[in-house]
A and B are shown apart, each in its own frame.
Chain A
Amino acid sequence: MIKRKVLAGIGLGMTAALALSGCSGSPEAEGAVTLQMVESLTNPARTALLEELIAEFEAENADITVELVSPPTDQADQKIQQMLQAGSGVDVLEVRDLTVGPFSTNGWLDDMTEEFDGWAGWDDLTDNAKKVATATGETYFIPYGFYGISLFYRTDFVEQAGFDGPPEDWEELLEQAEAIQDPDANTFGYAFRGGKNGYTNAVLAISAYVADDIDVTNAYKLTNGDSIFSAPEAQDALEVYFSLFEKASPPSSVAWGYPEMVEGFTNGSTGFLLQDPEVIAAVQQSEAVSEEQWNTAPMLKGPSGKAIQPLATAGWGIAEASEHKEEAAKLIQFLSEGDASIAFTEGNSLIPILNGAADAEFYKTGAWESYLAMNENPDAYITAEQPRGAAWWTEWGEKADAEVQQVLIGQLTPEELLASWDAYWTEKWASE
């Protein structure tokens, strides 16, 4: 209290500064509600689309105003945490499969079961979407779409190297990428991910090699309860995977994270890229790669002819501290239904959450064909859930990234890496 008074005094004394900053609180009209909405995976195009959808929502609900907050992606989740902890400034927020665990454990998220009881939109959701929304028995967020992985490839490079089509499995990828690699011309085979979250692709390769024995409810486990890193096939997978780096990738890709990989493909210097569908839009905008020069292919298989597709997801949730939960739910429902949802998933190249949306013309053409192919062949392209909600997931990611880089710079052998990963998860599961 005293502090505030002192501050107010200083504030008054500094009228000059006040006049400069020209600030004033905007009084709220009677009965009107302002919702604060914070996004996490911010990018300019997505923010623009989201604002359009919000404008539609506001037109339908004259008494609700939505203020969209778009922090830089790098700092977004940290900022959201601060807001949630302070219990102010946020009503609706982007909840990711990575953050739902910690956020709900801390009691920061509203269990929306009540608000969504009797919501007409439930029936339109795909099974996957419904499963995510009600995973733990509570509803902490409604997913807005799914991120799946496919192989982006340069049709012209593949053809010039003398191949009929894109690689189907990891070994073929290595073969083709090696044939394309030509460092003197600044052309590289594969956009290797050695930097942030680089371990995820190593795990993809490992899962494809152990696909026959994987536990689909926990993609880090084998059906016998051991970790996937303990399987002998994991060694084979890493041998191919790290050969990709040695023989067919740009040397500086040791440090490549998401932006650098995407850039490496869109600037026309690399032949292959394993990425989310949201990259489709980025490649389409590329000036260096024209429409005929690229396409996508389904996930890479292991020796047994199967691949594991880890579906990542994010969605909208409500802050526990929100004073406008009802209006917040209304907004989320609006975004999760019909045209708004379709516009959002198509605009961001996401795998849709609505039944039948994937039948739209949009998902049958061009780069989307591979997703359809994967969808239609669930025995070969198995969706499995990674333990992304674990409290130690971020810690794991850092450890795993550092160790992948250690292998790349020759400080660790692939065997040591697998042993370390196996030990890590075995210990974590035992302590659960």
Chain B
Amino acid sequence: MINVESMPARITRIAFLAIWLLLTLFPLYWIVITSFKTPGAIFSFPLTYWPEEFTLANYISLFEKADFGVYVLNSFIVATGASTVATLISLLSAYVLARFEFRSRTAILMAFLVTQMIPAFIALGPLYLLMVQLKLVDDRFGLLLVYIAVCIPFCTIMLRGFFANVPDALEEAAMIDGCSRIGALFRVIVPVMKPGIVAAFIFNFVNCWNELFLSVTLMNKDENKTIPTALNGFISSFNIDWASMSAAAVLTILPTMILFAFASRYIVQGLTAGAVKG
């Protein structure tokens, strides 16, 4: 299966992969091209697939109109912090759920699965009240805490699958060698699971980086806004301003894309190690 491929099969494969690549990249190409067009050119007719004149004006006005740098920084802080902590916490809970059998294990797993079924909108109001009481509204630390909670369930389910694939013998050997349980976990198992952990981290990061509704609800001041909130603001009551919006979209996608470009190998390997195991 791996080694023999007939000519027609080869052509089908290449054609299919090429077409899908084209379909995947075209929308991205379109938004990038739009971001370099002048507002007039966006609505010129017929459409141009390559701008007659490239302009950086949309990007420049973005940084003038709004503190885009601040939003990027906020998103970065919150997403990095939350995904790091969530991955660490999930590592612990996933380890226990994978390695121990105890009475409430199934219940805990179900409870985590149910969090994926809850539409976020039910919880927004009470969450806001809670955060007011904790004095964590309009505070990056508060948003970070909430994001950690959002990330944990899926991250735990995912990491649990990875643990199942690491042989027990590995840590037992380490524990016999005098490592504590936590020492064995971090010194022996974590290195083996690195691809899986990276994949989990990236998954968390992308989710936090793109999150909109919690961020709009919990952040007030401009200096605390994250990118999705700012982007949403661009569809302001005024007009859609496709030019600025495309530029903003490109800037939003860029960091996650760079991350993906570097880490895509890890993602596949990581998920390979665990996939989603029940």
Contacts and interface: CB of A to CB of B under 8 A. Distances in A.
- Physical contact A–B (CB less than 8 Å): yes
Interface of A: 4, 7, 11, 14, 16-18, 20-23, 36, 38, 41-45, 67-75, 79, 82, 85-86, 88-89, 185-186, 258-260, 262-263, 266-269, 282, 287-288
Interface in B217-267: 217, 220-222, 229, 232-233, 235-240
Interface centre among B40, B43, B137 (most CB of A within 10 A): B43
B140 A23 contact: yes
A67 B137 CA distance: 14
A282 B40 CA distance: 14
Given A69-B220, A79-B217, A42 B236 contact: yes
20 contacts: A4-B134, A14-B85, A17-B141, A17-B144, A22-B77, A23-B139, A67-B220, A69-B221, A71-B229, A72-B216, A74-B232, A82-B124, A82-B217, A89-B220, A185-B45, A259-B239, A262-B238, A262-B239, A269-B43, A282-B238
B4 to A, nearest CB: 51
B132 A86 contact: yes
Contacts of A79: 216-217
Contacts of A266: 239
Interface in B33-91: 38-40, 42-43, 45, 65-66, 77-78, 80-82, 84-85
Given A42-B236, A73-B236, A74-B235, 9 more contacts: A42-B233, A43-B237, A67-B221, A73-B233, A75-B232, A82-B125, A86-B128, A89-B138, A287-B39
Given A4-B134, A71-B216, A263 B240 contact: yes
B90 to A, nearest CB: 14
A37 to B, nearest CB: 10
B237 A186 contact: no
Contacts of B134: 4, 7
A4 B132 CA distance: 12
B86 to A, nearest CB: 10
A224 B43 CA distance: 49
Q: Is the interface of B mostly helix, strand, loop or mixed?
A: helix
A266 to B, nearest CB: 7
Contact of B81 (A21, A186, A282): A21
Interface residues of B, number: 43
A263 B133 CA distance: 43
Interface of B: 38-40, 42-43, 45, 65-66, 77-78, 80-82, 84-85, 124-125, 128-129, 132-134, 137-141, 144-145, 216-217, 220-222, 229, 232-233, 235-240
A288 B222 contact: no
A39 to B, nearest CB: 11
Nearest to A23: B141
Contacts of B80: 20
Contacts of A36: 220
A262 B235 CA distance: 12
Given A7-B134, A14-B85, A20-B80, A73 B237 contact: yes
A72 B132 contact: no
Contacts of A71: 216, 220, 229, 233
A85 B131 CA distance: 13
Closest 8 CB pairs of A and B: A267-B43, A72-B232, A72-B233, A69-B220, A43-B238, A43-B236, A287-B40, A73-B237
Contacts of B128: 82, 86
Contacts of B81: 16-17, 20-21
A35 to B, nearest CB: 13
Contacts of B39: 287-288
Contacts of B125: 82, 85
A89 B77 CA distance: 24
A186 B141 contact: no
Contacts of B140: 21-23
Contact of A287 (B38, B145, B221, B240): B38
Nearest to B44: A288
Interface centre among A7, A21, A23, A263 (most CB of B within 10 A): A21
A206 B237 CA distance: 26
A23 B66 CA distance: 22
Nearest to B130: A3
A71 B84 CA distance: 28
